[in-house]
Chains A and B, each alone.
Chain A
Amino acid sequence: MNARLQSLWKTRELSTLFVLALEVAFFTWYLWPEGDRAHPFFNLGNGVLILKYSSLYGIAAIGAAMVIISGGVDLAPGAVMALAGVVTGHLFAIQGYPLSVGVAAGIFTGLLSGILSAMLVVLVNLPPFIATLGVMGIARGIAFIITEGRFFDLSSRLPAGWKPFGLPADWLAPIVLVVLAAVFQYLMQRFQWGRAIFAIGGNETAALFSGIRVGKVKASVYIVAAVLASLSGVILVVIQGQGRADLATGYELDIIASAVVGGASLTGGRGSVVGAVLGTLIFGVLRNALPQIPGATFYDRLIVGVVVVVIVVVDQFIARKGA
């Protein structure tokens, strides 16, 4: 293998993309329909569907990847999504405020959750696992208190065929995702802030000794992650047209798994935003395709678990061989 090809293979995002392509090819082959019926998996409508739901995970996974690269972990994104979605839905559908007010308030709750996580991690010096576990409980709890456990319905107040920014509603999340992923990938690669995050995750003491504002950078990461999660939650309720306090339950672990599958190291210092987003797509395809396989209904969680382990093990194997 020549050097360029080798360095290409080592670009972690590309190997994740390769896995994704392999996965799509597999399901396309496996679910190939008989006769001239339409393909149940490989068609435009299904592609948009996968993108629409994966993007909700993806937006939050951008933040999760950055937290993990900084050497921390964030368990709150699912709950923060729920709280932000509930606040937006409650203000818009029940209190009758304009949608913009609801969206702003939803994202504001994300900001507050992030500030709380950041304070617990940076000022109180709690381990990130504990701090964000607490914030997860608090955010989810407030979401239940606000809704008193009831559904709310936004779709009846939205105009029929509503197009945010002139886009079909289905395209909202993917477009937001692509823009944010590009922006944050660029920030992580080419800006002092991103470099500082990598440095802190690699060696926090050395970062302090090198004059990096460790506290401020870490705080900013948790705040950005929570704001991104809240944005994802707001988009979720808007495109679904309804919501409840238990929405996005368990998302946090899928989001962390996506970041890890995309190359992030839970010991900090390694990973990428784009990798994490590709990771959410790998899971999105699995979640979409597995239920279409007859008899696989009860196997999908198991398969998802196996995929996480296999990808990470193969990744470590390649890394060790490369070293």
Chain B
Amino acid sequence: MAGLAFDGVTKSFGAVRALKGVSFPVAEGETHALVGENGAGKSTLMRVLAGIVRPDGGQLVWQGRKLDLHSPRAALDQGIGMVYQEMLLFPNLTVSGNIFAGREVTGAGGRLREPEMRERTARLLEELHLSVSADAEVASLSTAHQQLVQIARALAFECRILILDEPTTCLTEGETAHLFAILDRLQRRGVTLIYVSHKLDEVFRLCQRITVLRDGEHVGTFEASQTTPRDIVRSMVGRDIDPAARVPRTVPAEAPVVLSVEHLTRRPWFEDVSLSVRAGEIVGLFGLVGSGRSELLETLFGLYRAQSGAMSFAGLPVRFASPVQAIRTGLALVPEERHRQGLFFNLSVRHNLVLPAENASGPWRIDGRRERGDSQRLVEQWRIKTAGVEAPPDSLSGGNQQKVVMAKWLRAAPRLLLLDEPTKGVDVGAKWEIHDLIRRQADQGMGCLVVSSELPEILSLADRIVVLREGRVQGEIPGAGADEESVMRLATAVRH
């Protein structure tokens, strides 16, 4: 049989059964999407294919022959390349150094043949329409270019199967389009592509067939032309939900202003930003990557100082020199990257939940019993799926980790919650739950400022939308009347 077949692949990590006998075929030369909630087993399955994880049982067959995948090297040698979600590059090496890392072209006695590697790199980059030099240091490249260097690395060595794990998480629309054009060309060359993503619009744009995994099991493989995103979501979560549905809310007109920002400037990130958030209001801050959104939130939170402009909280002028002051005043920030900025993987869920320093029992001593009670209550309130409060956070799925990062602030009862990409890398079911939790906080009078680069998220959540482009506010739209087009027009400055 031509193509690739997964045949009864099983894998357990301790007591967790990540893959429970997954079988499905991938036709040679097709672009095949793999979707499912976080924890469904997509990444594990792809790691098996890339030789990183060795399955407990089952086999993989390529063109009728059983694949021997005992190491990443073995997978590469058989033409299986993977582009990882997290950047697995050497920032200190050049582009050509990265592409040939571990597989350098050498002459006598192991001497590196730099000119040849550089030349081959240049040819590859040209093929990908990448306007970077083979000698450029990878650390100096943009995220998108780094992503493409990873693809170049996979392609440098006769790659027949290319796995892409959430490749567009950090890319702008334009960069995504560029990537898709490259993937189209690869497909025409006969490369089999396996595309792992949460973004169903991309999946439908790119892929011929879609395989859905749920809880480590194969739910089904569908022809993209004969199904709809809604059907796919239903088979992913096992129930019918529409994450983009707008939940109507009203904010009383007399609700007091919690945060008001005037002419705030921190070059080169943002300039002359003015906005306000009222109690109980969800304000969406929309802008493309690089529009200065995260930097604005981090400045509001006291991580950086603004160069000019004023900020007032509950009517009083404030100026935060540190996050500690911001927290004391009543702000909380849920940062964009939960792994890097939000979680402590050496501490239990309980300790993560009670950490924000200002709200422990006393100023110094920790009250163990109260801590256990509070964290237990937060786990229940926020429906965090965990083996218990003493479990380490890396045993949780992405969506539940994100809930921990959000829930840890609520013991401090902030009056303004700053959320930076609150559902980044989170599956559909958890996304819907997180939106619901944000709305519930707002209903209790908390002001929320939500940054997102996902338009459907902003449209479904926000009572008012502030659009940012290149660090400047482009306009405000009431949430009820907004649609994709009106917001996007402001964000991209296209006038029709």
Q: Does A202 contact B (CB under 8 A)?
A: yes
Residues A191 and B356 in contact, CB atoms below 8 Å apart = no
Contact digits for B336-369, partner A, Cβ 8 Å, 1 yes 0 no: 0000111111110001000111101001111010
Contact of A269 among B301, B335, B344 (CB under 8 A): B344
Judged by DSSP, the binding face of A is: helix
Name the A residues within 8 Å of B133 (CB-CB). Answer: none
Residue of B nearest to A208 (CB): B323
The stretch that binds B, out of A25-33, A56-64, A97-105, A193-201, is A193-201
Name the B residues within 8 Å of A198 (CB-CB). Answer: 344, 346-347, 351
Residues B346 and A210 in contact, CB atoms below 8 Å apart = no
Name the A residues within 8 Å of B345 (CB-CB). Answer: 202-203, 269
Given contacts A208-B323, A209-B335, contact A192 B366 (CB under 8 A): yes
Q: Does B22 contact A (CB under 8 A)?
A: no
Residue of B nearest to A199 (CB): B344
Which range contains the number of B residues in contact with the other chain? 20 to 34
A210→B404 CA distance, assembly (Å): 12
Q: Which A200-245 residues have a C-beta within 8 angstroms of B?
A: 201-203, 205-213
Name the A residues within 8 Å of B327 (CB-CB). Answer: 211
A66→B343 CA distance, assembly (Å): 21
A196→B14 CA distance, assembly (Å): 30
Given contacts A205-B340, A210-B357, A211-B357, contact A199 B347 (CB under 8 A): yes
Residues B355 and A199 in contact, CB atoms below 8 Å apart = yes
Residues A213 and B322 in contact, CB atoms below 8 Å apart = yes
Residues B346 and A192 in contact, CB atoms below 8 Å apart = no
Residues A212 and B344 in contact, CB atoms below 8 Å apart = no
Q: Does B408 contact A (CB under 8 A)?
A: yes
Residue of A nearest to B324 (CB): A211
A270→B14 CA distance, assembly (Å): 22
A213→B322 CA distance, assembly (Å): 9
Residues B346 and A201 in contact, CB atoms below 8 Å apart = yes
A241→B360 CA distance, assembly (Å): 47
In angstroms, how far is the closest chain A Cβ from the Cβ of B327? 4
Q: Does A1 contact B (CB under 8 A)?
A: no
Residues A211 and B341 in contact, CB atoms below 8 Å apart = no
Indicate the member of A190, A202, A211, A213 with the most B CB atoms within 10 Å: A211
Q: Does B303 contact A (CB under 8 A)?
A: yes
In angstroms, how far is the closest chain A Cβ from the Cβ of B354? 9
In angstroms, how far is the closest chain B Cβ from the Cβ of A128? 18
Name the A residues within 8 Å of B301 (CB-CB). Answer: 209
A203→B368 CA distance, assembly (Å): 22
Residues B347 and A205 in contact, CB atoms below 8 Å apart = no
Residues B351 and A195 in contact, CB atoms below 8 Å apart = yes
Q: Does A323 contact B (CB under 8 A)?
A: yes
In angstroms, how far is the closest chain A Cβ from the Cβ of B82? 24
Contact digits for A60-90, partner B, Cβ 8 Å, 1 yes 0 no: 0000000000000000000000000000000
Given contacts A199-B347, A201-B346, contact A209 B324 (CB under 8 A): no
Indicate the member of B303, B322, B355, B363 with the most A CB atoms within 10 Å: B355
Name the B residues within 8 Å of A201 (CB-CB). Answer: 346
A198→B326 CA distance, assembly (Å): 23
Given contacts A209-B333, A211-B324, contact A203 B344 (CB under 8 A): yes
Given contacts A192-B364, A192-B366, A195-B366, contact A209 B347 (CB under 8 A): no
Name the A residues within 8 Å of B326 (CB-CB). Answer: 211
Residues B357 and A203 in contact, CB atoms below 8 Å apart = no
In angstroms, how far is the closest chain B Cβ from the Cβ of A247? 36
Residue of A nearest to B337 (CB): A205
Contact of A211 among B14, B344, B356, B368 (CB under 8 A): B356
Q: Which A254-269 residues have a C-beta within 8 angstroms of B?
A: 268-269
Residues B342 and A206 in contact, CB atoms below 8 Å apart = yes
Indicate the member of B343, B346, B366, B368 with the most A CB atoms within 10 Å: B346
Name the B residues within 8 Å of A196 (CB-CB). Answer: 357
Given contacts A191-B365, A192-B366, A195-B351, contact A209 B360 (CB under 8 A): no
Given contacts A190-B366, A211-B327, contact A202 B347 (CB under 8 A): yes
Name the A residues within 8 Å of B323 (CB-CB). Answer: 208-211
A139→B471 CA distance, assembly (Å): 50
Given contacts A208-B303, A210-B355, A211-B356, contact A193 B364 (CB under 8 A): yes
Q: Which B293-338 residues have a C-beta within 8 angstroms of A?
A: 301, 303, 322-324, 326-327, 333, 335
Contact of A323 among B14, B342, B366 (CB under 8 A): B14
Residue of B nearest to A217 (CB): B357
A60→B358 CA distance, assembly (Å): 31
A210→B409 CA distance, assembly (Å): 9
A75→B364 CA distance, assembly (Å): 29
Residues B344 and A191 in contact, CB atoms below 8 Å apart = no
Given contacts A193-B364, A323-B14, contact A202 B346 (CB under 8 A): yes
Name the B residues within 8 Å of A211 (CB-CB). Answer: 323-324, 326-327, 356-358
A190-B365, A211-B323, A213-B357 given; name 10 further pairs at CB < 8 Å: A192-B365, A198-B344, A203-B343, A209-B342, A210-B356, A210-B408, A211-B324, A211-B356, A212-B355, A323-B14
A/B interface sample: 17 pairs, CB < 8 A: A191-B364, A192-B357, A198-B346, A199-B351, A201-B346, A202-B344, A203-B345, A203-B346, A206-B341, A206-B343, A210-B355, A210-B356, A210-B357, A212-B357, A269-B344, A269-B347, A323-B14
Residues of A within 8 A of B (CB): 190-193, 195-196, 198-199, 201-203, 205-213, 268-270, 323
Nearest 9 pairs of A and B residues by beta carbon: A269-B346, A202-B346, A202-B344, A211-B327, A211-B323, A209-B341, A211-B324, A203-B344, A209-B335
